[in-house]
Every structure is written in C-alpha cells, then in structure tokens.
Amino acid sequence: MSIDIKNLNIKSTHKHLIDGDFSAQELTQECLNAIKEKNKDINAYIEVFEKTALEQAREADKRIKEKKYSELTGIPLAIKDNILIKGQKVSAGSKILENYTATYDSTVIKKLKDAGAVFLGRTNMDEFAMGSSTETSAFGITKNSLDVKRVPGGSSGGSASAVAMNSCMGALGSDTAGSIRQPSSFCGLVGLKPTYGSVSRSGLIALGSSLDVIGPMGKTISDVEIIFEAIKGKDELDSTTIEENKKTKKQEIKIIGVPSFVNETDGLDNFAKNNFNESIKKLESLGYKIKKISLPNIKYAVPSYYIILPAEASANLARFDGVRYGLHKDGENGIDDYFKTRGAGFGKEVRRRIILGTYVLSAGYYDAYYGKAQTVRELIKKDFEDVFNPSNGETGVDAIITPTTTGPAFKIGEKINDPIKMYLEDIFTVPANHAGLPAISIPSNKKLDGSFDGGLPLGLQVIAPQMDESVLFEIGKNFLGEE
C-alpha cells in the first residue's frame, strides 16, 4: 500500500501497521523523504535523526510482529528542541546551547520510548521558548507551511509546521503562555496544554517553572489524546507532578461559559470574531448551553505574566554560564568569561527578559513588581475557581471557550520589532497557565475537504477545570464530528 501521510493520522496509521499494510520502517522512510523535500523551505527541523529513527522503526516492526505494541509503536513524532533525548543535541533554539548533547532522557521521552514511538528530529523554536512566532531562534526562522510568507506561531512553531507539512504523525511542544495552542491554531492543528503537573517536566529545558508544561500537537483530538495518555503521570523526578486524572463519575457536559472579556479585547479582528460567533452557534446546535461569564481579573493576565515569567526565566537561565553547558568564551578572568559567554550566547529577547527579571526580583522592587504580580495571579486563579464551582448553581460552567488567538497567522517580520505586540499574542492563552488549567486549541474553520474557511486556519480554545482533560476531548470531538 502506498503511504500518503497527508491522509493518515495516528489512529488510522496504527491500524495499518497492525494489519501489515506497511511497516514502521517504510513509514519512517516516507517521513524522512518528506522532510528532505520540504524542510529546506520551511525550516521546521533543526536536526533530523535519520539513523536512530530508522533503528527505532526497525525495533517497532519487531514489536508489532511479536504483538507487544501500543498505539504509538512505530509512530514517527517530531520533538521540540527543549526536550532532552539522551545522546542527541538539544539547544532550546539558542546559540548558548549549540552542540550541547543531552546526557539523559526526559521523562516524556522515556515514556514514548517504552511505547515504541519513533523520533524523527528536533524542531525549531523561539529561543528558550520566548516568543510567539519562531523568529527568535538562533537557527533561523520557521515558515508556516500553509502560507510561507507567514509565521507558524511560537514558540513551538517548528513542531506545528512539522505536522502541518505532513512530515510526521504528531509532535511534542511546550506551553508556558500559549506556545502549543497558538502555533496549533496558526497551522490548523489540535494542540493540548495539559493541566500543570499532569506531565513531568523532568528533562524539559526550563523557561518559567511554575507555568511550563509539555503537551502534544496533532491532526485530530484522538491523536492528541493518545500522546497525552502516554506521557502523563506522576513522576518522582518532578515534585510538582500530581496523581493520575481524577476518576469522577462521568457527568454530562452541558454548560459552556463565554467570558465577556473576549468581546472587550481590542485586538480581536473581524475574521476571528465572526468565526468565534459561528463556533458558539455550532456548539449550541450540538446541544450545549452557552452562558456569559465574567472573569474580572483576566485583563491583568498578560501584564502579570510578563513580570512573573522574566523573574523565573532569569533564575532558570543563570545556569548557562559557559562553564557547565554549551558555549564558552574566554575573557580576562572568570567574571569576564561569564559576560562574554552570555553576551555572545543569548539573543536579544532573552537578554531583555533576563534584565527585566533580575530587576523585578531585586531588593526594593520585589514587593512592588514580583509580589504584586503573584497576588494578581492568585486572583486570576480564583476567578476560574468561582466559575467552575459546581455548587455555584447559576454561575457554574463545565468549560470555558475563547478564540485561541486574536486573528490568523501574521506575516513574517510583522511583530518581531514590537515586543508589546508580540506579547499580546498570549492574551487568550496565558490565563490557563496562570491557573494551571488544561486547555486545548481546535481548528474552528476547517472544512470537510481539509481547507480553511476564509483561507487561513483559526482556533477555538476550550478550557476545563484541573485534571479534566476528558472534558476538552469530549467537546473537541463533538465540535469536529470526530469518532
């Protein structure tokens, strides 16, 4: 059987592999061919693991023959360049880690290896996951394969383009303020930011440790669910991980909240606004009750994030001193070595955040900035708790929807010189990170023939209570008409 990656997803591919229609080695080779053909143009991958991928595929074929397989056995995936794979280079899109080789497997990779997945390569990203366009990478920009004049979003833009250009069956990204959901929206994919702590961060190069989470990106809800099920779980290497998803009695999901904030957002363009209203109508026609809700502190989500995130990032990035990892530049003395190494190794956006972060944490300013931002974060969390509280009768909702972004993928170069414009990309996505809640982006204007109504893809974001990823999958499947 000839392999047509475009018309396959993880679920259908799994069936073909088990039925012997094609082998994992043939499939992997097909993906490698697609990368060879398309990556020159798109730059989704920083590096392709041709040799190890084919070895893993051979191993997978053996497992399939012996009937010791999982749904991910022999499935080729792309991995964001901030997730450690033992023996492979990993750089977080930064010069400072160029040529650094991972000495151990991240927990998610360990789990995917156990499941028999194949790793095709590492994907491009904004440097240290700071950005929304994959333009801040030290390894060149990534283009959106649906329109090469546009960005794929970020920071997991390489992973998004890798899936969208039909070179892999799914990908891992990381999400601190929207880095899985926004690129998924820009590339017409499904992207899940899991509950904070449901997926181990061990082996993820840290950005903001209280916000970071690894998650899947794919073509369907089921595909994303399959990867999530494989990577989640408590891990002794990450003390913030929590027990398995709660097994509450399955209750009917009936009420979906729409925050008034959506219509009060200045930057929301008409294309996205109209599409969001269409999505509401569609959900109503599926039997959901739509309710207006208010999250009074959500308007402070972006400003407080850009205090908390630089503070945490500046602390996390202190370890890159030219002694232990990656790049080293010689100066006059030890201190000068640090200056030279960090000056040469970090890009502009990273340096901006380190300076901002050390400032808001410094004595005399800590309470005014960092302390205040933490208080605001608590208020945002409480806003969500209030609307999700089932005993809240009239005001309680089962899920919340917003557009994922204020518009479709923007042009390369359009926002890169205006940090505030770029930061506002997070406006709908960052609240879920503040509150640690699971959130998914699903294509909201995809037509049956696979094209997008109005030209470029848009996303609908669904947010659920903690550990209630199943709510997202259920609504998502109903919305997309998926089995």
312 binds ligand GLN (CB under 6 A): no
Scan for tokens 């390369």, then name that residue. Answer: 412
CB of 21 to ligand GLN, least distance (A): 38
**Spatial separation of the C-alpha atoms in residues 314 and 476, rounded to whole Å:** 37
Sheet with strand 213-218: strands edge to edge: 45-48, 118-123, 76-80, 170-175, 213-218, 190-193, 439-443, 459-463, 399-403, 255-259, 289-293
Residue 185 near ligand GLN by CB under 6 A:
no
For the annotated catalytic residues, the residue numbers are: 80, 155, 179
Q: Contact between 200 and ligand GLN (CB under 6 A)?
A: no
Query: Of all residues in this chain, which one has the CB nearest to ligand GLN in the complex?
Result: 179
Is 127 among the residues that bind ligand GLN (CB under 6 A)? no
CA separation for the pair 146, 122 (Å, rounded):
21
- Residues in region 41-70 near ligand GLN by CB under 6 A: none
Q: Tell which one of 30, 105, 398, 426 touches ligand GLN (CB under 6 A).
A: 426
> Of the two residues 117 and 214, which places its CB atom closer to ligand GLN in the complex?
214
- Figure out which of the listed residues 175, 225, 398, 474 binds ligand GLN, where binding follows CB under 6 A: 175
189 is a site residue for ligand GLN (CB under 6 A): no
Number of chain residues interacting with ligand GLN (CB under 6 A): 14
| Helix locations, 346-425, DSSP H | 348-361, 372-388, 419-423
Q: Is 396 exposed, middle or buried (0-12, 13-18, 19+ CB in 10 A)?
A: middle
Q: Which of residues 141-170 bind ligand GLN (CB under 6 A)?
A: 155
Tell me the Ramachandran region of residue 328: left when phi exceeds 0, alpha when psi lies from -120 to 50, beta otherwise. beta
Residues 374, 308 contacting (CB under 8 angstroms): yes
* Site for ligand GLN contains 132 (CB under 6 A): yes
Q: Considering only residues 177, 416, 460, 464, which one is a binding residue for ligand GLN as defined by CB under 6 A?
A: 177
For ligand GLN, the closer CB: 179 or 314: 179
Is 311 among the residues that bind ligand GLN (CB under 6 A)?
no
Reading phi first (left if > 0) and then psi (alpha if -120 to 50, else beta), residue 436 is in left
Any contact of residue 173 with ligand GLN (CB under 6 A)?
A: no
Token code pair at residue 20: 């012997």
d(CA 28, CA 433): 34
Of 75 and 430, nearer to ligand GLN (C-beta) is 430
State the residues that interact with ligand GLN by CB under 6 A.
129-132, 155, 175-179, 207, 309, 425-426
